[in-house]
Structure 1
Amino acid sequence: MRICFVGDSFVNGTGDPECLGWTGRLCATACRRGHDITYYNLGIRRETSADITARWLDEVSRRLPPECDTRIVFSFGANDTTIEDGKMRLTLDNSLAYAAQILSTAKQLFPVLMVSPPPLADVEHNLRIADLSQHLALVCKQQDVPYLDVFLSLQASAVWMSEVAANDDAHPRAAGYSELAWLVQSWKAWSSWFREVKSGDE
């Protein structure tokens, strides 16, 4: 199985001294359980959904040949809600339009999952992220793409929030990313990919 994780600095694992983030930990666990995975991290810091719309298909197509078992996990949105020059980098309507455009194309080509943006240290910013996450859930429902909202779980996590506050007010360290990896690992939509592989190999 070849999996591309596409998104922003949280996908990249920024802040993790072990350079694994949640995506690396997630795939390492699957590999320890006997699954054969080629894993591509396509997270870029500061990117919005507009930036990801412009690049994802070309980057993914180079890594996911049609003859292979290929998958994509998207996660983005926190940068859309950042205030710059007195306004959000993207309006809510634009964020949702870009997400719908990405998912409508991706799901025709690959099995696709989406993970919500996580919380930061800033209270006001978190209100905007939470609002975007709720709307992204609706977009994913309309597109029939499984969506995992990790925002509330991580906001309630002392580990995640304390590491974010102690680091750069945005990104956790290793333990925080481990918590996010565990949330995705426990998600039925993620684990079903590997049950399918296992049953097909038997």
Structure 2
Amino acid sequence: MCICVIGDELTAGTGDARGLGWVGRVMARTQTEEPAFVAQLAVPHESTTALSARWEEEVRRRHQPHGDNRLVIGLGSTDLDEGLSLARSRLNLANILDGAAASRIGCFVVGPPPRPDVDADALASLSGAFADVCQRRHVPYVETFEPLRTHEHWHADVAAGDGVHPGQAGYGLLAWLVLHNGWHDWLGVPTAS
């Protein structure tokens, strides 16, 4: 199994002193028949426009011709920073998912978590737009914004670091959300005990 994980700096675990981020924590709790090859392909502050322009080349170089190839997309809030419209953000994600489906690559999408420096209502709308694109394509979507919007530990962990990125506790919360929202079913593997 080959799992490519694309997204922004949250996908890489920026701010996590242990360097695991949510991806490392999720993979530590994922038992596959044979060890999975996991490629973390993060680009800091990447918008969905930039992501849609690079994903295919990045993934094609790592996937196996006849293997079980998967794509995890970790979305952030950069589209709002760059002033992209919701329609453009939706289209960018749709293009990635449609391209992956055409190549028979299963996708799993993790939405953007809250950030204190980003308008909460705008981020809620962006997350909702991403969720809708995924729902229409029957692609699993993990909503992280709403569960963490008023979560004390999330906000305390972000505030204790650089004020934008979570630390170990925050990444643990993101990993928990991923693991409890269809991850094991999507991979077709047993839930880790």
**TM-score, length-scaled by structure 2:** 0.91
Pairs within 5 Å for 1:1-202: 1-31=1-31, 36-82=35-81, 88-109=82-103, 110-122=105-117, 125-188=119-182, 190-194=183-187, 196-197=188-189
Q: Aligned equivalents of 2:141 and 2:20: distance in 1?
A: 22
Query: Any idea what the Cα deviations from partners look like across 1:2-49, whole Å, max 9, x if unmatched?
Result: 111111111111111111100111111114x76521111111111000
Q: Aligned equivalents of 2:101 and 2:155: distance in 1?
A: 33
Residues 11 and 40 in structure 2, CA contact (< 8 A), matched pair in contact too: yes
Equivalent residue pairs, number:
189
| Structure showing greater relative contact order (alpha-carbon pairs closer than 8 Å, 6 or more residues apart) | 2
How far residue 191 of structure 1 moved from its aligned partner, in angstroms, is 0.9
Q: Residues 163 and 62 of structure 1: is their aligned pair in 2 closer, same or farther, counting only changes over 3 Å? A: same
Q: Aligned equivalents of 2:74 and 2:14: distance in 1?
A: 14
Q: Aligned equivalents of 2:85 and 2:166: distance in 1?
A: 26
Q: Aligned equivalents of 1:12 and 1:145: distance in 2?
A: 22
Residues 113 and 145 in structure 1, CA contact (< 8 A), matched pair in contact too: yes
Percent identity of equivalent pairs: 38
Secondary structure of the residue that 1:63 maps to in structure 2?
coil
Q: Aligned equivalents of 1:179 and 1:35: distance in 2?
A: 27
How far residue 132 of structure 1 moved from its aligned partner, in angstroms, is 0.5
| Structure 1 stretches of at least 4 aligned residues deviating more than 6 Å after TM superposition | none
- What letter corresponds to residue 101 of structure 2 in structure 1? K
Residues 2 and 37 in structure 1, CA contact (< 8 A), matched pair in contact too: yes
- What letter corresponds to residue 38 of structure 1 in structure 2? F
Query: Any idea what the Cα deviations from partners look like across 1:122-175, whole Å, max 9, x if unmatched?
Result: 3x5222111101111111122221211111112232221111122222210011
Q: Cα RMSD between the aligned structures?
A: 1.7
- What letter corresponds to residue 191 of structure 1 in structure 2? H
Structure 1 unaligned blocks of 5 or more: 83-87
Q: Residues 21 and 99 of structure 1: is their aligned pair in 2 closer, same or farther, counting only changes over 3 Å? A: same
Aligned residue number for residue 85 of structure 1? none
